[in-house]
C-alpha cells in the first residue's frame, strides 16, 4: 500500500465483499497490470481490446454527462480509479478529485500519468474505496469497479457511501444479458487461475432490492464488441 494511504483494518461490508476485493487486488497487481496499462494508453491493441477501449471511452463520457460541467471546488471520489483517465477529466472540470484503487500498481501508473497542470487538484491512494478516512464528497463515480460484486454487496457499498455523499453517485454494473449470463456460467463451470475475477450480471431491480434508503435508476447501457456495461445513478 502506498505511503500515506488510509488503511482498512476492519470489515466495511460483508465477508464476501472482502474476499472479492482481495481477488480483484491480486488480479490487477499480479496478472493484469501490463494489460491494463496498455489498454488505457494510446498504444496499439488487438481488435477485441480496441472494442473494449472504445466502449470504456463511451462509458467515461456518459458518466461525465451525469455531473455538472463546472465542478469547481467540488470534491469527487473516483472509486476504483485504475490508471486515472476519469479522474483527470474530472479535475479538468475543476473538481478536487480523490482517486482510490485497490491495486497499488495501477495507482503508481496513475501518478506517473498525472498532467502537471492538474496535479494540485487530483490525488491518488491505494486502499479500500469505502474507507471513511477519505472523507466526504459532493459526487462519486465508480466505473467498472463494482462489476465483480453481488447485489447485496453493491447495496451495502452504496449504503456505506451514502452518509458521506452530498450529491449523486454514478456507477456501472455488468447487465444481465444472454451473452453475459453465458459467459458467467462458463466462468463458474471452468474457472482458471489467470482469468479475471468473474463479473456478476445484474438488473437494476436486483440492486434496488438490496438497497436501503436512497433512489436508484438506470442511465444507459454501452455496448462495444466485448465491452457491455450499464450505468446507474444513485442518490442518497
SS3 92: helix
**Residues 167-186, mean pLDDT to the nearest whole number:** 76
Reported as a pLDDT band with limits 50, 70 and 90, residue 181 is low
What are the structural domain ranges in the chain?
15-235
pLDDT score of 44: 85
DSSP string, 135-170: --BSEEEESSSSTTS-HHHHHHHHHHHGGGBSS-EE
**Residues 88-104, mean pLDDT to the nearest whole number:** 97
Q: Which of 222, 2, 214 is nearest to 100 (CA)?
A: 2
**Residues 39-68, mean pLDDT to the nearest whole number:** 92
pLDDT score of 182: 61
pLDDT score of 15: 60
Reported as a pLDDT band with limits 50, 70 and 90, residue 6 is very low
Q: Which of 127, 157, 125 is nearest to 140 (CA)?
A: 157
| 150 touches 206 (CB < 8 A) | no
Q: Which residues pair with 223 in a beta bridge?
A: 228
| 106 touches 77 (CB < 8 A) | no
Give percent of the chain above pLDDT 70: 85
Q: Which of 132, 73, 68 is nearest to 100 (CA)?
A: 132
pLDDT score of 199: 78
pLDDT score of 3: 34
Mean pLDDT across the chain: 86
Spatial separation of the C-alpha atoms in residues 20 and 214, rounded to whole Å: 25
Residue 67 cell numbers, joined: 455531473
Question: To which CATH superfamily is domain 15-235 assigned?
Answer: Vaccinia Virus protein VP39 (3.40.50.150)
pLDDT score of 17: 87
Specify the DSSP element, H or E, that contains 8: none
Q: Is the pLDDT of residue 33 over 80?
A: yes
Phi/psi of residue 219, nearest 5 degrees: -105, -70
* CA 161 to chain centroid: 14
pLDDT score of 7: 33
pLDDT score of 123: 98
pLDDT in tens, 117-171: 999 999 999 999 999 999 999 999 999 999 999 999 999 999 999 999 999 999 9
pLDDT score of 190: 41
Q: Which of 62, 87, 80, 83 is nearest to 223 (CA)?
A: 62
Amino acid at each position: 500500500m502506498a505511503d500515506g494511504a488510509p488503511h482498512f483494518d476492519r470489515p466495511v461490508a460483508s465477508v464476501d465483499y472482502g474476499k472479492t476485493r482481495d481477488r480483484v487486488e491480486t488480479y490487477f497487481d499480479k496478472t493484469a497490470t501490463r494489460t491494463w496499462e496498455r489498454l488505457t494508453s494510446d498504444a496499439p491493441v488487438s481488435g477485441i481490446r480496441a472494442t473494449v477501449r472504445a466502449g470504456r471511452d463511451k462509458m467515461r463520457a456518459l458518466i461525465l454527462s451525469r455531473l455538472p460541467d463546472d465542478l469547481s471546488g467540488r470534491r469527487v471520489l473516483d472509486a476504483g480509479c485504475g490508471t486515472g483517465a476519469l479522474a483527470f477529466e474530472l479535475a479538468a472540470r475543476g473538481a478536487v478529485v480523490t482517486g482510490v484503487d485497490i491495486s497499488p500498481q495501477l495507482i503508481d501508473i496513475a501518478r506517473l500519468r498525472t498532467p502537471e497542470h492538474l496535479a494540485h487538484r487530483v490525488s491518488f491512494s491505494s486502499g479500500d474505496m469505502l474507507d471513511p478516512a477519505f472523507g466526504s464528497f459532493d459526487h462519486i463515480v465508480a466505473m467498472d469497479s463494482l462489476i465483480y460484486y453481488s447485489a447485496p454487496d453493491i447495496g451495502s457499498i452504496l449504503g456505506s457511501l451514502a452518509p458521506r455523499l452530498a450529491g449523486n453517485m454514478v456507477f456501472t454494473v455488468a447487465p444481465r444479458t444472454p451473452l453475459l449470463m453465458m459467459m458467467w456460467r462458463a466462468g463458474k463451470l471452468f474457472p482458471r487461475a489467470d482469468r479475471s475475477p468473474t463479473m456478476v450480471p445484474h438488473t437494476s431491480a436486483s440492486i434496488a432490492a438490496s438497497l436501503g434508503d436512497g433512489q436508484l435508476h438506470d442511465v444507459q447501457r454501452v455496448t462495444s464488441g466485448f465491452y457491455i456495461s450499464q450505468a446507474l445513478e444513485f442518490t442518497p
